[in-house]
Amino acid sequence: MTVESEQKLLVTGGTGLVGSHVIQRAREAGIPTIALVRSVDQAKFLKDFNAELVEGDLTDKKSLGDALTGVTIVVHTAAKVGDWGSGDEYRNTNVKGFENLLTALEEQCLIKHLIHISSLGVYEARDHYGTDETEPPHASGIDGYTLSKIESEQLLLKHSIPYTILRPGFIYGPRDRTVLPRILERLKSGRFAYLGSPEKLMNNTYVEHLVDAIFLALFNEEALSQTYNITDVSLVSKREFISTIAELAEYQPPKKVVPLPVARNLARIMEGLWRFLGKKQAPILSQARIKFLGLNLDFSSQKAQQELDYQPQKTFQQSMGATIEWFRNHHQLP
């Protein structure tokens, strides 16, 4: 594939953690970029990265037209995220919205490559020890978000768009507005507890490393029709992950451990009660959070290393250090 100067990039989810970093990297590479955003007023910071802001919503196909003009490559990061909500809530954006985008892209016939950001959550909710891409997604016993990610992968295969699927783990980095702020709040309040053994591994993926993988795949014809797991090469235990955050933020590291069987039973009870009461916020314990914090999440990124030359350069300490420094400098530490 011809390189950057002859391409025009569309980034969906431009204001999000991954999307904003993709746009920032595109500016550094000199790639003309359109950022599809739901509100231009809330995306003004992207103008610092020379992105053209186009207001649109994936759930409204008619609103996508202006965003697609002249586009040849796409990085699709937009998604409804979180660990609480009905399957239909996630499906509306992550599947139906994605289908609107794919159909619109096919109609303009210029697309050379689409990078679809999926998730390691598509694999079975069990302990993993070096699981690679040969294991198929597992659709039973998972939350609405990860189920919608499986369905979006399946949808992509039914269309004619040249694609690559990347499956990152827990993405962290500057500008995170979802999981890391909740962890920081619980650490500060002393309410954080490990679920099961703290020595089990995280599937940590620093956002800059994920963006490395995106651009390595984007202009690589060998990556077409391929799926890659993307994690930091050096995974860390839950204890190291959480205690490093606590140390950098100057909070007390947690010591509480809830046995996994107890956590699972409590999660079932709380999820049932929350649904009965119609609560919009997630309970403090859910099956999705147990999957994130209670299981061994060691996934292999060897395929990406071998085929894309994906070689993350920063250690976990460096990556999380830069992340917490950003939170502190932008007054985001609770």
pLDDT of residue 261: 85
pLDDT at 3 over 60: no
Nearest of 238, 237, 235, 215 to residue 309 by alpha carbon: 215
For 185-227, the pLDDT digits (tens) are 999 999 999 988 999 999 999 999 999 999 999 999 999 999 9
Distance CA 224, CA 231 (A): 20
Mean pLDDT within 48-60: 91
For 118-133, the pLDDT digits (tens) are 999 999 989 999 999 9
Residue 182 token pair: 């909740």
Distance CA 330, CA 324 (A): 10
Instruction: Give me the chain's average pLDDT, please.
Output: 91
What's the pTM? 0.93
Percentages (nearest 5) of helix, strand, coil residues in the chain:
45, 15, 35
pLDDT at 63 over 70: yes
Distance CA 263, CA 254 (A): 17
Residue 101 token pair: 């985008």
Structural domains present in the chain = 4-169+205-233+297-313 (3.40.50.720)
For 228-284, the pLDDT digits (tens) are 999 998 899 999 999 999 999 999 999 999 888 888 888 788 878 877 777 777 777
Q: Look-up: residue for tokens 């303009």?
A: 108
pLDDT of residue 220: 96
For 283-334, the pLDDT digits (tens) are 777 777 777 778 999 999 999 999 999 999 999 999 999 999 999 999 888 8
pLDDT of residue 4: 55
Q: What percent of the chain has pLDDT over 70?
A: 96
For 261-271, the pLDDT digits (tens) are 888 888 788 87
Distance CA 313, CA 311 (A): 6
Q: What percent of the chain has pLDDT over 90?
A: 66
Nearest of 94, 143, 92, 102 to residue 122 by alpha carbon: 143
